[in-house]
Amino acid sequence: MSHEEAAAPQVYGMVAEFESPDQLLEAAKRAKEAGYRKIEGYSPFPVHGLAEAVGCNDNRVPWIIFGCGVLGAIIGLSLQYYVSVVDYPLNVGGRPLFSWPHFVPVIFECTVLLAAFGAVFGMFGLNGLPRPHHPVFNAPGFLRASQDRFFLAIEAEDPRYDPEEIRRFMVSLGASSIAEVDCE
């Protein structure tokens, strides 16, 4: 409570609104060239090349999925080995207890199940979701970021952050509106 009175609301950054995905992509590329590092684009559908343009080269999701898949296969195999060979061996006409071809379907299903969990939870986890509130939601007109408008944010943490310069820069790139957005 007390610290709230002392400090002025923190600034999230400058958020510019664009009317088309091409403008947003172009603006993101130009901002990157101009030397901004803490930038993020927001769009109502995936725009190809935008993530790379804002400097996101995160390829961890497929590796998480792979790891989970391997773990699933190990769990599937060891479960069946333990049950069929160690804990509950059944002698069926002298056939081998470790009859691995029969174990393939369950190993496969366990692999798929864990890999799918890895895909969903890994993706949402790396995205920092669920997170109901985010400062960018304070940007004017941001409701349309999930509908038909395209936004580019340059965050206050950027070393070259200067509201006036960014305003001029974004207007020159064709932004239809631009505003400084507070964290509160």
State in angstroms the smallest separation of the CB of 153 from another protein: 9
Instruction: Give Cβ neighbours of residue 181 (< 8 Å, ≥ 6 apart).
Output: 11, 12, 13, 14, 15, 135, 136, 138, 139, 153
Q: Take residue 25 and report the two structure tokens written for it.
A: 């992509």
* Nearest residue (CB) to another protein, 60 versus 168: 60
Contact positions toward another protein, by CB under 8 A? 21, 28, 40-47, 50-51, 53-54, 56, 58-59, 61-62, 65, 79-80, 83-84, 87-88, 90, 92, 99, 102-103, 105-106, 108-110, 112-113, 115-117, 119-120, 122-124, 126-127, 129-134, 136-137, 143-148
**Residue 69: CB minimum distance to another protein, A:** 8
Distance of CA 123 to CAs 41, 70, 72, 146, Å? 18, 18, 18, 19
Q: What are the residues whose beta carbons fall under 8 Å from the beta carbon of 159, sequence distance 6 or more? A: 37
Category of 128 on φ-ψ map: left (φ > 0), alpha (ψ -120 to 50) or beta: left
- Say if residues 92 and 138 touch (Cβ distance below 8 Å): no
User: Would you say 34 or 61 has its CB closer to another protein?
Assistant: 61
**Shortest Cβ 32–another protein spacing (Å):** 12
Which CB, 19 or 162, lies closer to another protein? 19
What minimum distance in Å lies between the beta carbon of 171 and another protein? 21
